[in-house]
Chain A
Amino acid sequence: MGLSLSTAAAPELDLEALDIACRDRGLDGVELAAVSASDLDALDARTSMASGARIVALRAEGLSPETAPRLARASGRLGVPLSVPSEALAPSDLSDLAAVFHREGGRLLLAQGCGLEAMAALVAEIQVARVGKPWSQGGDGPLGVAWELRPSSESLEDGSAVLFIARELLGLVRLHGGGPEQHDQDGLGVGGLLADLALSRYQGTIVLTPSRPETLPRWAKWLASRRSAGCGTIAESNRVDLDVRPVEPRDRLETILGTYRSLSRGATMELTVDHDPSCMYYTLEATEAEGSFTFRKVEDGPEVWRAEVTKL
């Protein structure tokens, strides 16, 4: 399972700059989004010069008789799938489209959200389109499913069942959110679905894409700033307020331990976090001398947790 970013998250960045930002973030690669037919020439140019960039998927919002063969060729040449919203395609065209993608060695993924009935219908349409075709054998044919997860605007309640239906045809997961939008999606069920996805042994890519255009400035900032500063404030000499919510997760442990270790004996750190801080209790238990601190939760979620840590 690899995590990648859609070019839709950074329309201003060219492919090379986006690729560098992805590498800095530990993301595996980029999904190239071609929004319209006129983008196709630009797409051709980008894919042919994209020697250094790792392209993991292509995206189009629709297919026409003119664009389908070109996108199929790009998909085959790059060895990555193309996803298209299923509602943009007529079921009666699937068989012909599959033949085009089969000929070009590409793969077409029909994108569908968390609606159970819609996914069941889509899987049935794909199975019908496969009947009697030379490529109908094997799960790696020219037609598959891309799963669109929109936790901010769509209920994920049926997600586990949708995954169960789609799992054999599933070639891509597109998460509308994640990245700088993680906090907005707290409690909306992404965690549970990711666990289901892992347990279903999904091997493909998860592409992050902005949930809506208004969030684009936050994505730009997220991609530009690899690290964020700590934000402890010393209110009184024996009391430190440390709110790590704006701190990047990877910098949090160092920030918290650093602050704790700088406390004088008898001083208290009030820690504010956006998740249950029990792991910090266990970490202090393991790393600090026995009996050298007290740890008391003073607020226990569901949005914010606070703990008072006193050095003895």
Chain B
Amino acid sequence: MAKTELDIRVVPPREKHPTIFRTFDSLAPGEAFTLVNDHDPAPLRHQFEATRTGVYSWSYEESGPSVWKVRIGKNA
């Protein structure tokens, strides 16, 4: 299956998190996407933990120094 990538670097600040949650919420259970960002999206992870508790997975594919990639999946 082709890889789904969301590069959030070009999205204006106030649309970033809504865009990410919209993408996540559109996934079917078992699907995942790779988030590309120019910094560690740690605050986002805390927001996922608080608002999507137990339904998401989070694994770093690349951790800087210029680009961070996180595979975010919806649990089956």
Contact = CB atoms under 8 A, between A and B. Distances in A.
Interface in B11-40: 11-19, 22-23, 26, 33, 36, 38-40
Given A186-B14, A274-B13, A274-B14, A253 B39 contact: yes
B2 interface: yes
Contacts of A274: 13-14
Interface in A127-150: none
A308 to B, nearest CB: 18
A303 B12 CA distance: 11
B43 interface: yes
A285 B6 CA distance: 27
A249 B15 CA distance: 13
Interface string A263-281: 0000000000111101110
A252 B3 CA distance: 29
A194 B6 contact: yes
Interface of B: 2-19, 22-23, 26, 33, 36, 38-40, 42-44, 46-47, 49-51, 66-67
A249 B11 contact: no
Given A274-B14, A275-B16, A276-B14, A194 B67 contact: no
Interface in A103-142: none
Contact of B38 (A25, A287, A305): A25
16 contacts: A1-B6, A26-B9, A26-B66, A182-B10, A190-B11, A191-B11, A198-B23, A203-B3, A248-B39, A250-B38, A253-B39, A253-B42, A279-B44, A283-B43, A283-B47, A302-B14
Given A198-B6, A203-B2, A285-B46, A186 B19 contact: no
Contacts of B8: 194
B16 A191 contact: yes
Interface residues of A, number: 51
A199 interface: yes
Given A253-B40, A278-B17, A280-B43, 8 more contacts: A23-B66, A26-B66, A179-B10, A185-B12, A194-B10, A198-B7, A250-B38, A274-B13
Interface of A: 1-3, 23-26, 175, 177-179, 182-183, 185-188, 190-192, 194-195, 198-199, 201-203, 206, 208, 248-253, 273-276, 278-280, 282-283, 285-287, 301-303, 305
A3 B43 contact: no
A286 B48 CA distance: 12
Contacts of B17: 275-276, 278-279
Contacts of B11: 182, 190-191, 194
Contact of A286 (B12, B23, B46, B66): B46
A283 B42 CA distance: 8
B48 to A, nearest CB: 9
A198 B4 contact: yes
A195 B19 contact: yes
- The 5 nearest A-B residue pairs measured at CB: A250-B39, A26-B66, A191-B15, A191-B19, A198-B6
B42 A3 contact: no
Contacts of A249: 13, 38-39
